Structures are given as C-alpha cells and as structure tokens.
Structure 1
Amino acid sequence: MSSEPEMPDDVADRIENVRVEDEMEQSYIDYAMSVIAGRALPDVRDGLKPVHRRILYAMHEAGISSGSGHRKSSSIVGETMGNFHPHGDSAIYDTLVRMAQDFSMRHPLVDGQGNFGSVDGDPAAAMRYTEARMAPIAEELLSDIEKDTVDFQANYDDRLQEPTVLPAAFPNLLVNGSSGIAVGMSTNVPPHNLGEIIDATIHLIEDPACTIPDLMEYVEGPDFPTGATIVGRNSIRKAYQTGRARLTVRADYHVEQTDSGSDRIILDELPYQQNKSKLVERIAEMANEGTLEGIRDLRDESDRDGIRVVVELKRGANTDVVENRLLESVLEQTFGVINLALVDGEPRVLSLKEMLEEYLEHRKEVVRRRSEYELAEAEEREHILKGRLLALDHIEEVVETIRNSEDRDAAKDALRETFEFTQMQAEHIVRMQLGSLTSLEAAEIEAEYEEVQATIERLETILANESELLGVIKEELREIRAEYADDRRTSIVEDMGEVTDEDLIPNEEVVVTLSEHDYIKRVPVETFSSQHRGGKGIIGADLKEGDRIATVFTAQTHDDLLCFTDQGQVYRLKVYQIPEMSRTARGTSAVNLLNLDDEEEINAVVATDDFEDGEYLTMATRDGYVKRTGVENFENILSTGIIAISLEDADELVDVEVTNGASDIVLGTETGMAIRFDETDVRSMGRNARGVRGIKLEEGDRVAGVSAIRETDDRNLLTVTRRGYGKRTPLSEYRPQSRNGKGLVDIKTAERNGRVAAIEAVEDSDHVIAMSEGGQLTRIPVAEISSVGRNTKGVHVMDIETGDRLAGISVFPEPEA
C-alpha cells in the first residue's frame, strides 16, 4: 500500500494560504498596471508611449537620422522588436505608420517614403515596401540623450539599456497629442500648435503663478493636423481647466455657383480622424434614402494638394437648408478630450497648467543633468589644458626628462615627480606630438583654455541659479519655435447653440405660385417692382403647355403655413422648404413637398405664427357653407394632411380666414353679391363637420372668397374680377345681416369685367400681387385702385390678354424702406 511522500519542513514553511478572490484581484491589478504603464498611456514628460519611444531610440541607435538615407521599415521594425519591444511586428509597424502620417500627427516624427495610408482609411503598404527615417523635429526629442540627461533601464532580456523617457526639447504630449485605451481608463489628448504651446510654456516660466485663463491668452485651443473648425470656446475652457470635455469639430466648406445657376458645396477640411470615404458614402446614402434632399451629384476630387469633396445641388434647392442638414448629420464630430497621462508612473487627469508644469520639471532635470555632464567634461578638459600649458612653460626640461627615461611609464613617473603633474596630465603629455610644440599651437591651447574656463563658469552659474537654468530652457524653446512652428490650421468659432434651418435663411417676403400641374416655387417679392394699375405686368412663371396658375400668395420665408385644398384637406408647410427660383422658372413638383392627391389644388393659405388662444379658422365653400373651428384642432398635422372640413355634393373649399370670436364675416360671390354677418352666428364645430349656410346663392352663382373684419374697421373691401377689373369700397357700406341671406350687390359683373375672382379687406398702404392663369404677374399699390361705391363695375387693375383670366390675388403690407 503506497503512501504520499512527506513534504520537507522548509518547503511547507514557504507555502502560504491565499483566498482565490484575493489572488485574482491582485493579479488583475498587476496586469492592469502593466498595461497602463507599459503599453497604453503616454508619459507626461515626453508625450510618448513605450512603443513610440523605443522606435525612435532604435532609429537613433541605428543612425537613421533626418540626414541619413531612408531605411526599409521592416528593418526598423526588426531592430525595435529584437532589441527593445518584444511584441508583434504589426503593432510596431502600425505605430511607425501613424508617426509618419501628416493627417494623424500635427508634427510627424517619422519621415516616410511610400504608401503610409490615407484619410480614406486605406492601410499602409506592407513594411517591406515602405521606407522611413526620423523627421528633424523627432531629433529634438532625443537631443542630448547621450549626456546622461535621462535614466536608462535594462531592455527585456538584459542585453541592452533603453531610456525610460526621452529628453524632449518641446512639450510633445500637447503638440502631437495622444490616444489610447488602457484597463478601465483611456486617454485622448488633442494636438496643439507648437508655437502657441511654447509661448504658453515660456509664460509659465516667467509667471509660475499664472492661471489657466492667462495661459489661454497664448493657447487658443487644439490645432488639428486636418484643420477644420472647433465650435464653442466654453468646451475648450473646460478641457483646459478639468482635463475633460467634449469638443464639437466641424468640417470647413464653401459654396460655389455653377454656370447653370445651381450651387455646389465644396468640403475643404474634415474633422480630425474622420474617414473621408465613409463620409462620402454616408452623404450618398442619405441622398438615396431621401433624408437629404436637393443633391444632384456627389464627387470626391481630393488629391495630394488637399481635400475637395463636391456636393452638387439641384436647381432651386435651398442651399442653406442642405448645409444645415449636412452639419447635423455628417459634417460635425465630437472629440472627447481626456488629458490622462503618466505622472511618476501613475495615471492622472491633468489640466493645461499641470501638463506644462510637469513638462517643465522634466526639462529642468534634463538641463541640470546635461549641465553637470558638460561641466565634468569641461573640468576634465581644463585639467588637461592646464597640464599642457605647464609643459609648454618648461618645454626643454619636459623634453629632456622624457628623453632620459627608459620607457613611457618611467617618463610619466618622472614628469609627476619633477613637475607635480597628475597621472592624467602626465599620460597626455607623453602622447603629445612634436608638432604641438609650435608657438601657434601654444596660442590655440591658451585660447581653448580660456574658452573652457568661460564654459565652466557659465555651467556653474546655471547649476547654482535656477533662473539661469530656466533662461536656458526658454532660449532653447524659442529656437525650436523659430525652426518648426507654423500657422494655426484649426479655427475656432463661438457656439451659437442649435442651428435650425430658419437660422440660416433670411426672413423675407416672398411670392409663392402653384400651378394646376403642381409646380411650385417662391420668388422674393422685391423681384417684382411696383407698377401702375392697368398694365400687363411681367412674366411670373414659364408654364408648360396646358398648365395654368392655380394659386398665388405672399408669405414670410419663416412662416409655418396651413395649406387648405379645394377638397377640404389641410397640410403644414414651411415656406423656406419651397425652392427659391428665378422669376421665369417653372418651379419644382409639389409632390416633393406635399402629398397632394390628383386634381387637388391649394385654395387658401394661413400663417400659424399669428395664432392666439381663442382664435378660429373660418372656412367658406363654393356652395355657400361656412364653418368655424378652433385653431387648437390644427396643432398636429400629419405629413399626409388631415381633414379640415367635410364636403358634400362636389362642393369645394374656397377660402379661409382667422377670426377672434368677435369679428364679422364677409362672403363675396362670383356674380358680385356680398353678405356681412356676425361670426357667432356660426357655432364652433369640429374638423369633420360640414358647417352651416352662410349665404343663399342664386342659381349658377358660387362663393369667391371670405374676409374677416371688425365692427369699427375703417378698411376697404377690395374686389377683383377674372378679367382684371377691381375696386375698393369702404366696409361701412356693407351693413350687417343675418347669415343665409342673399346679401347686397358688391360689384356689377358683366362680360367686360367678368365674374369675381377674390375679395380681401385692405389698408390704403397695402400692396397687391395679381397673377393670371397664364403666368403674367403684376404688383400694384392698393392706393392706385379707386375707392368707389358698391354698385359699380370697377376700374382696370391688370390688362388680361384674350383667353387668359385672373388666377388670384395676394395682399401684403408695404415693405419697410
């Protein structure tokens, strides 16, 4: 029967009982810290992660400087991996590639030759095809590394020594930024302008008590290699004060006009780290899906000289709206600032001032150690030169002593005994050549001795006085600024809040026309100058054969409109959504804006901006019906429209007015009759109601329009006929009656002036737009239309050609001068 061997006492004493969860916790912490310190986070002093530092040091050791020839990237990767970075070659090469990309690094540290990727996300060529060497500015990170300026540590197999940090003659962490994901934390430091960062560092040296706002007088904000625009200074201020913030970065673009009259939007600069090809694909998808309207073509014309993405717009497309939609969807990105870096081996989120202070402490240590190293060298040289000068003063005795010695060692001993030379001086004198005994050589030695003494004095001053040491740092920073600084690429604008389409479109009076074939457009009212009554006007629309104008109205571009159709439906529409076109343009299909049914026409338009509590929409139909409905019933209108009134027996909705519950209503008919009654004679009804009779029509007569007036209204009622005649009559001549009466004669209609087309209550200062079905349009001051009694035929308002007739009118206040 076998038994387990007994464990020796010394082994048992070394066994320690540990809880599994405690061991897992400690092991995970150890792993996390190794990732944090050894892989993912940059050091605040030189702004580099270990892999970046090792690549640059490997190039330095291999002599691959900015002045040498390019070396195969595979050779550099192999040197780095074999000597310093025992990880996969792909990780090392990816880092080398990024350090060579001018769209990733504000100041690339590697000068690459070959395909090193693109802003389209294209990968670099294989490392066997590309070549690289250090960029000149990278040498500034390594300058004086051989002068004991930084600590070294053993490499992974104890064969070699590698630096724990580079001397870093400029604040690289802020200049080139850094990004990385560690265990439980990440860093994302944006790049900055070298000149601004150096200016801020010098200011901090001169005024250590300065505040972050003081430093922001020099550092405007991040400066991305791809340019673009940062929106909002508050987020920048927060990033510099707390080390964390979210910056909005916007693409730069401009608008050009093509020979055909349409616009094109040209993208010139993209947000940092945005993939250009994916951006173009996204714009194309949105255009195809219909979420981004108005785009005719999309091209990427970028080349080595820069970004140029062309977005061609359709004729009549609202450029401002397309711009805003692009900004909302693809042209703005968020850059999350996390100023996390290693400080004394521990991760810390740092403010702008803290980052500069940590860099300055590092640089002070570098300059101090360099000065100590140079001082030791200078003192050693001074000691040698002092011995040479003493030898020259006693040259004959020195030569005689050396000649009489048996060998070199004897000569050294004799020189030390006779002239009290040190061992180092004696060795140097024995090795002196006869040529150095000339008077010229003696003068050069004396000059060098004086120069070395001055160097020693300067270095001792630097080491003894911190202000002198800081002066050296400032001078070296200024030299780097003069050598490498360039202009800022990223602009900064104030954040104006959420930009809506309305913010980008001027609010102006426009004329909107809609044809029977559903072509719609808007034209600034200033396009049509005021004319005398009786003229033909000018072309207001170039219609297709068989088409004619159905509706004309005026509105403000910011107006939110309720569009009522002859079939009793109502739609909501923003005026600026209607394409702005030239005076003679045909327009665009209304199906792109409104879901109108076949044969459905807009007969009335009401601006919702004027609605107040207690107001009503009062509707009139061709057959004389009137209905009042509270405005609150029209707050939520579907894209497919909603029912505004129920119509029967082929009746049509003809006109709509806003009333306040205390108005009088005037209905005008096509044969020239008019009735005025109190709106309360019509009770308030729901949307689906038909309404009640407002006027009793003679056979063949139809309602032409409705107007709302007040009891003390001193305006006139403007009546215009199909043949272009019209008149103004004081409202006081229309006495109130009960609804459903026959009314009074408003205007005499006959073959000469035609049936009534529209009625409107007008001020003397108003202007009227009149448009014929054939597309002729005229703008007339209301004051030019005669004010006469009710029972008259009116005067010539617009000269209507034979076969044409007036489509409608729209009244608007006289524009301010």
Structure 2
Amino acid sequence: MAEGINESIIPINIEDEMRGAYIDYSMSVIISRALPDVRDGLKPVHRRVLFGMQELGVHYNKSYKKSARIVGEVLGKYHPHGDTSVYDTMVRMAQEWSLRYPLVDGQGNFGSIDGDSPAAMRYTEARLKRISEELLNDINKETVDFEPNFDDSLKEPSVLPAKLPTLLLNGAAGIAVGMATNMAPHNLREVVDGICAYIDNKEITVSELMQFITAPDFPTGGTIYGYSGVKNAYETGKGRVIMRAKATTETTKTGREQIVVTEIPYQVNKASMIEKTAQLVNEKRLEGISDIRDESDRNGLRIVYELKRDAISNIVLNNLYKHTQLQSSFGINNVALVKGRPQILNLKDMIQHFVDHRHDVIVRRTEFELREAMKRAHILEGLLIALDNLDEVIKLIRESRDPEIAREGLMSNFNLSEIQARAILDMRLQRLTGLERDKIVNEYEEVKATIKELEFILANEDKRMQIIKDELLEVKEKYGDERRTDIVHSAEDFKMEDMIPNEEMVITISHEGYIKRTPLTDYRTQGRGGVGSRGATSKTEDFTEHLFVGWTHNYLLIFTEFGKVFWLKVYEIPEGSKTAKGRPIQNLINIEQGDSVRSVINVESLEDEDYINNNYLMMCTLKGTIKKTSLEAYSRPRQNGINAITINEGDHLLNVELTNGDNHIILAAQSGRAIHFHETDVRPMGRTAAGVRGITLASEEDSVVGMVCVAKEDAQLLVVSEKGYGKRSDVSEYRITKRGGKGVKTINVTEKTGKLVAIKLVTDADDLMIINKSGITIRMEVENLRVMGRATQGVRLIKLGEGDEISSVEKIEKMEEEVPTSEESGEEASHNPEAEEKPNEE
C-alpha cells in the first residue's frame, strides 16, 4: 500500500515550480486584473460591472436598484472575487471627483473628496449613467467577441463596443507585477477633435495632435503648472505633470488678507491635506498663516488660509505649493493591453488603437444588420408572393390536413423556402387588407434601400471612417463640456530660444579674440572697384580673422590652437554694429591664456542623431597632421569645453571642416605645394586621438596654411599669397594621391608673390572678402578672376600699402541686390554666406 502511494508522488524542483507558478500569477494579474484594454479603456472588473448592470436592466432612464443587488449579479455571474472589489469599483465609477466622466449614477452616500468611506452596499442604490450606454450600444449586434464566464455557464464580452475613447477620457491606474499604469483623464471635446484630425490625416504627428488635445483635464480642476511633462507624456508615453490648486487672494472686512482655494489637485485627500498643513503651521515650518478653515459646502470646495498682518500672500502661497499637497505631481505612465500584450503608448498610439477598434465594431455591426435585413427581405418577398396569389394560398391551406402539409404545399407550389412558408402560415388575417398589403410593399422597398446602403458601407472605408467621425461628433454634442484644468507655463518651459527670433547673423571674430554678431540686414552690397571700408573698429594691430553667417539658434563649435573645443549658441554672442569692436571671447568661453580661436563650425543641430552620426569633423594642424572624428563625439556641450584633438609639441590646430564622409581633402603649405586625397584615406578616430600625417612639408620652416574639403565637381581652388597675388584653378588639375605625400605645386612662390597665405574652395557664385593686417576689408567677385593653370604665379588681387600684407581671405556668397548709389559705395559689402566652412553644403 505504502509503495503505491510513493509511486504516485512526482518529485519536482521547488525553484522551477515557484518560477512557473509566479509567472502564471503575473500574467493573470497583467492580463485579467490590473491593466486596461486599449480599445475600451476598461479593466475586466469595470467591464463586468457595466455589462452586469445592463443585463440587470438598470439603465439611466429606469429606477435605481440596490447596490447589493448589482454587486450580487456581477459577483455571481462574471467576477468571482470579493464583493468589496466589485462595490469599490462601482463606487469609484460614481464619484465625480474620481472620474472625469462618471459611468455610474449613485444614490446615497458614495464617499467624499475628504476620503470618507461610502455607505454599505445595502444602503446605497445605483443605475447606469447615460454616457455608459455609449460604451454598451450595439453589444447585441455581434460587434465584439464573447467568451465563457468563470464556470462556463454564461458568456461575457471580452471588450465593449465603446463609442467613447474611455482610456483617454477617464484615464486608468493599476499596479500589475513588474509594471504599472497611470493614465490621465482628458476633455471629451478635445479628444474627439484630436481623433477626427487623426482620421483626416493618418500621418499626423504627436505635436500636431497636441494642438487639439492640449493637456490632461482633471475632474477636480486645478492648474497644470509647466508643459514639459505633458509634452514628454504625449510623445513617449511617460511624463510627470505638476498640478496646482486654484487659489485667489481676498481681503476681509477687517482688512486682513486670506488665500482662498477653490480647486485642488487630482487624487488629493482634502481633509488629510488640511490636517498636514495645520501641522506644518504648528511646527513653524510654514510662516504667515494664522488660521485654516474648510468652508466647502454643496455649492463647491472652498478652503480659506487666514494670513497674519505682516504676511505677504504671494510668499505664503508659494510656500504652500512647496510644502503641501496644494502642488502635487501626476506621473503619467501609459501602459495598456494591445492584443493582450502590455505596451507603452504615446498619444497617437492610443488614438490609433481606438479608431481601429471602432472601425472593427462598425464593420461587424454593418455585417450583422445586413444579415438581418436580408433575412427580413427574404420573408417579405414570401409574403408578397402569397398576397399576389391569395386565393390559391387560402385554398391550399384550407384543403391541408395539418400545418406541415400546408407548409410543404406552399413550398412546392410557389417555390418558397421553409422560412417564407412559415411566415405565410403565421400571418394574421388582418394583413390581407389593402392597407396592410401596402405596408408590406413599402417595408420591402425600405429594406432593399437599407441593404444597398449597408453594402455600400462595407465596400467603402472612407464611408466607415466618416461614420466613426459622425458618431464621435454626436457624442461630443451630447456630453462635451468645458475644460476644468487650466495650463500655466512655468519658467522651465521657456528655453532662451523661445524668446529669441531665429534670424541670420554675421558673426565676426578678430585675430585678438574679439567676437560680435550683427544682423545680416545691417550689411549692404557696395559698388565694385572700391578700396573697401573698415568693418570693425579694433586696435591697429588687430584684424578680423573669422567672418561668416549663422542663425541665432545654431550652435557654434569653437576650436582653439591648443586643440580644445567650446560650444556657444549664436544668440549668446553679444550683438554689435558693423563698426563695434565686440567682446573678448574669453568673457564667453573659458579659453586658456595664450590660446586663440582657430576654427568655428556652425552646426544646425546637436540633437538630430541622423545628422550627428553621418557628419564628421576633419581637423588639420600647422605641421600637416590630419584627423577625422564623428560629429557625435562633440555633441554633448560642456561649460569648460573638452579636448578635441591631442596636439604634439611645437604644433597647433590650424583648421577644422565639417564633412559628410565622402569628400576630397586638399591641404596647402606656405611653400606653395598642395596634396589632394579622398576622405576615406583617413579612418574615423576617437575624440582625443592625435591623428595621422596629411602632408609631408618641404622644410622645418614650412607649415600648412589651410585645408579644404571638396564636395562639388564644378568647384575651383583659389589660392592667395601674402603680397596680394592669387588665382583660381580647377580641382581636377590637382591629381589624387594618397595622404602623407609632398603634394604638387599650387602656386609659383617668388619674392614678388610672397608665401602662400590662404586656400579656398570657390565657384562663380561666391564673393571674396580680403582682410589686410591693417584692418581694411575689400570685397570682390570670384567670377572676375580668370581660371588659370595650377603652377602659375597668379594675378594681383589687391593693392597693398607699404608694409601691409594680406592676413586672411574669407569666401562669402553673392547676394542678388540692386546696384547701390555712389553714397553707399563706401559701405562694407553685404553677404549671405553659409557658414564659412561647410563644404558638404556648397
């Protein structure tokens, strides 16, 4: 006997058993208890309460029934859990401070905002609210799947047809295993407008939807303070919304000030909040309050904070927000079941799933109505045949021994179906009158028209979408109301950019490090042939070194001789006139003593991942080293800058260019030689790498003067020497070699020309701004420079004064403008360049 018992015992690893059992439990909690379905926005218990109430017949226009009767119905038929869980659910669905649109109409004590318990279910009564009928409509038209209840004795709906987007309207809260949900309620009018906008344009973005659905709308009103949390929640499904009470300051007859609160944040227990506030006042942690009274009554909520005579109401109110639940946060976490799986949803996802569900319901409803209409049409056709052959039908029936023989006789004689024959036998004699016959004919015509309309709906998706919209607009008209929760933007919502228009600015940086920005509109084109004008007032020995155009919201990446990079928003640069000196750059960025700016890159965005991962920074040093690094490595701004490249002793950073990964690189040296190779010869390196050899210099004294990145086939190279000579040649004249070589001759360097000082990539559409060491600037058109051979010495570009030399050459885009008058010819040239060095946009 004992052996038999032992044989039936199966040894199981307790760890495996625990794991399996816990996973089953977790799934049960996630699917069947804690999370709402994305389609009807309800958890199983809510769905069962509403369906149970409908089955019991407690509609909005019928009399109330005892809550215990309803709970018993739901408990016995659909929800085999504790009666408290069902009653608490029903109570919450009746509380207007818990649900934005209550679904149950309660009579009796259903609790209060102070946290009071509702009366026992034997004392209270309930029925459905009218709005709940919109969730249950069409449930008997095979619009949703039904599944067996817990004991397989009945069927219950797996989801409701839900004409309303309940998930958005009333939100949801639940703690499952390993996940939780907390969804905010919204305003019906806004949600319907948002859904209609989505139906009109399925490609609509979340930010466009937010023009319709502005923010959550809490049942207790209050104020949403700050918009960034709302934006995050709508875009990602997660966000933190700060809620504040609505408070005003009143003066009593005695002249004392008092703060009056008329709306409090959602889910805050009023009595508990007042109690905790009084405690803080007693502990002297809240100053300036002499008395707190709750004056709430049936007309609404009213909490009065009496202030001391010397108290400043604004300071007291801000302290109340800081230390009490007059300010509280709502952590949005949009987790719902999509096809039985929990998912985090953004605003558009929730709308999309609701529209898909409604579309499915309408298709199923139309199919059901079509089947019913066709059945009716079939019967009416039979009745019309009988009426057309009335005498024979009556004769046949009278001569038949029993109904079965009559039915068979009708079917064989008049070619009728069994259903039609039964309908004829069931027909009352009064239907034989002329008037009743007309009614049958009219009904048949109506049914045929209905069938045609239903078939059109099933064949046309646009028509179905229009039905969804029409039904939603009807619901909006019936139940829509004004917003209760205001939105107040906090300081953190406003970035500096929001206050500053995004305008084009000319940015100039002088050799000694003075920086300024000037609106592009301040520059005007001058007549050609002038000797230029003084662009910036600076010390005699100072001159403008960098000059380019950027938008006020752009980032500037500022690279220094020592190999560091700093970030600066264009709007952070002080604005000044054309002749203003500007501010020392050291005042704006933490640049070391002795270091100076070598290159400035104007970057459109550091947030766009596609942009920063597919663009590179190509760096070149005085001694011919080059390095390529992804822009992504420089996309996290730091106050004190970071090392952009490791610089070897005796060298310094000369130039930095933005490339797209597929450019040609040309380096030129003072000795007049240049090397041309493809960017792919330089592999991308880390941010702190030192780089590789780009060009072998002719001598110890020789150094690199510049680097260009070639992206356009039709571009030409412009070279300028220090004595004012220059020329342009086709890029194709420079043969492609491997990096690291000595290069080929780019200009014939003689004593007359002086050393090479600049190399630029130009087209006929460019102008040149030539800057002398004396500070004089002159603008000239590139198209007037002849294209010449690579090894020539070039032509004189500019007449230099005694001892003067060219310090730098900037390329700027030509602007199509009218030729100015002679008075203006002395003004500095206007220009509209892209950033000085953005070859991949040239």
1:46 is aligned with what amino acid? Answer: D
Query: Cα offset for 1:203?
Result: 1.3
Measured in 2, the distance between the counterparts of 1:318 and 1:189 equals 37
1:151 aligns with 2:145: yes
Question: What does residue 259 of structure 1 align with?
Answer: 253
Question: What does residue 239 of structure 1 align with?
Answer: 233
Question: What does residue 276 of structure 1 align with?
Answer: 270
1:58 aligns with 2:52: yes
**Percent identity among equivalent residues?**
52
Contact 1:287 1:295 in 2 (8 A): yes
Partner SS state of residue 411, structure 1: helix
1:323 aligns with 2:330: no
Measured in 2, the distance between the counterparts of 1:401 and 1:199 equals 62
Partner SS state of residue 292, structure 2: strand
Query: Cα offset for 1:472?
Result: 1.3
Residue in structure 2 matching 1:428, options 419, 423, 427: 423
Contact 1:389 1:445 in 2 (8 A): yes
1:342 aligns with 2:300: no
Question: What does residue 48 of structure 1 align with?
Answer: 42
Question: What does residue 381 of structure 1 align with?
Answer: 376
Change (3 A) 1:476 1:264: same
Measured in 2, the distance between the counterparts of 1:246 and 1:59 equals 36
Partner SS state of residue 140, structure 2: helix
Query: Cα offset for 1:151?
Result: 0.8
Query: Cα offset for 1:21?
Result: 2.3
Taking the TM superposition and a 5 Å limit, the aligned residue runs for 1:544-583 are: none
Change (3 A) 1:159 1:3: closer
Query: Cα offset for 1:389?
Result: 1.2
Measured in 2, the distance between the counterparts of 1:128 and 1:405 equals 61
Contact 1:106 1:191 in 2 (8 A): yes
Question: What does residue 291 of structure 1 align with?
Answer: 285
Residue in structure 2 matching 1:356, options 342, 345, 351: 351
Question: What does residue 393 of structure 2 align with?
Answer: 398
Measured in 1, the distance between the counterparts of 2:5 and 2:319 equals 80
Measured in 1, the distance between the counterparts of 2:343 and 2:194 equals 21
Change (3 A) 1:289 1:273: same
Partner SS state of residue 363, structure 1: helix
Measured in 2, the distance between the counterparts of 1:28 and 1:432 equals 62
Question: What does residue 673 of structure 1 align with?
Answer: none
Contact 1:235 1:247 in 2 (8 A): yes
Query: Cα offset for 1:198?
Result: 1.1
Measured in 2, the distance between the counterparts of 1:57 and 1:425 equals 36
1:96 aligns with 2:95: no
Question: What does residue 487 of structure 1 align with?
Answer: 482
Residue in structure 2 matching 1:468, options 449, 458, 463: 463
Change (3 A) 1:292 1:7: closer
Runs of 4+ in 1 over 4 A off after TM superposition: 5-8
Question: What does residue 21 of structure 2 align with?
Answer: 27
Deviations 1:122-171 (A, max 9, x none): 11111111110001111111111111111111111111111111110110
Question: What does residue 199 of structure 1 align with?
Answer: 193
1:177 aligns with 2:176: no
Measured in 1, the distance between the counterparts of 2:421 and 2:272 equals 74
Deviations 1:689-719 (A, max 9, x none): xxxxxxxxxxxxxxxxxxxxxxxxxxxxxxx
Measured in 1, the distance between the counterparts of 2:105 and 2:224 equals 28
Contact 2:242 2:327 in 1 (8 A): yes
Question: What does residue 3 of structure 2 align with?
Answer: 4
TM-score scaled by structure 1?
Answer: 0.59
Contact 2:228 2:493 in 1 (8 A): no
1:225 aligns with 2:224: no
Contact 1:251 1:332 in 2 (8 A): yes
Measured in 2, the distance between the counterparts of 1:173 and 1:411 equals 57
Question: What does residue 783 of structure 1 align with?
Answer: none
Question: What does residue 368 of structure 1 align with?
Answer: 363
Measured in 2, the distance between the counterparts of 1:299 and 1:395 equals 85
Query: Cα offset for 1:316?
Result: 2.5
Deviations 1:196-235 (A, max 9, x none): 1111111111111111111111101100000000011221
Query: Cα offset for 1:249?
Result: 0.2
1:142 is aligned with what amino acid? Answer: L
Partner SS state of residue 285, structure 2: coil
Query: Cα offset for 1:468?
Result: 1.4
Query: Cα offset for 1:261?
Result: 1.5
Measured in 1, the distance between the counterparts of 2:27 and 2:259 equals 49
Q: CA RMSD in A?
A: 1.7
Question: What does residue 580 of structure 1 align with?
Answer: none
1:417 aligns with 2:416: no
Question: What does residue 206 of structure 2 align with?
Answer: 212
Deviations 1:348-397 (A, max 9, x none): 11011101111111111111111111111000000011111111111122
Residue in structure 2 matching 1:168, options 139, 154, 162: 162
Taking the TM superposition and a 5 Å limit, the aligned residue runs for 1:582-601 are: none
Deviations 1:584-608 (A, max 9, x none): xxxxxxxxxxxxxxxxxxxxxxxxx
Measured in 1, the distance between the counterparts of 2:4 and 2:414 equals 78
Question: What does residue 501 of structure 2 align with?
Answer: none
1:306 is aligned with what amino acid? Answer: G
Query: Cα offset for 1:497?
Result: 4.2
Contact 1:103 1:225 in 2 (8 A): yes
Measured in 2, the distance between the counterparts of 1:372 and 1:18 equals 52
Contact 1:262 1:316 in 2 (8 A): no
Partner SS state of residue 197, structure 1: helix
Partner SS state of residue 3, structure 2: coil
Question: What does residue 804 of structure 1 align with?
Answer: none
Contact 2:217 2:485 in 1 (8 A): yes
TM-score scaled by structure 2?
Answer: 0.57
1:351 is aligned with what amino acid? Answer: N
Query: Cα offset for 1:6?
Result: 9.4
Query: Cα offset for 1:246?
Result: 0.6
Deviations 1:658-699 (A, max 9, x none): xxxxxxxxxxxxxxxxxxxxxxxxxxxxxxxxxxxxxxxxxx
Taking the TM superposition and a 5 Å limit, the aligned residue runs for 1:353-752 are: 353-497=348-492
Measured in 1, the distance between the counterparts of 2:313 and 2:269 equals 24
Question: What does residue 829 of structure 2 align with?
Answer: none
Measured in 2, the distance between the counterparts of 1:423 and 1:184 equals 59
Measured in 2, the distance between the counterparts of 1:252 and 1:363 equals 37
Taking the TM superposition and a 5 Å limit, the aligned residue runs for 1:66-77 are: 66-77=60-71
Partner SS state of residue 367, structure 2: helix
Change (3 A) 1:202 1:498: closer
Query: Cα offset for 1:263?
Result: 0.7
Q: What residue ranges of structure 2 are gaps of 5+ in the alignment? A: 495-842
1:112 aligns with 2:101: no
1:422 is aligned with what amino acid? Answer: S
Query: Cα offset for 1:3?
Result: 7.9
Change (3 A) 1:5 1:59: closer
Measured in 1, the distance between the counterparts of 2:311 and 2:4 equals 91
Deviations 1:440-484 (A, max 9, x none): 111111111111111111111111221111111111111111111
Change (3 A) 1:419 1:498: closer
**Which of these two proteins has the greater Rg computed from alpha carbons?**
1
Measured in 1, the distance between the counterparts of 2:224 and 2:346 equals 19
Partner SS state of residue 4, structure 1: helix
Deviations 1:317-370 (A, max 9, x none): 211111111111121001000101111111111011101111111111111111
Query: Cα offset for 1:20?
Result: 3.2
Measured in 2, the distance between the counterparts of 1:261 and 1:232 equals 33
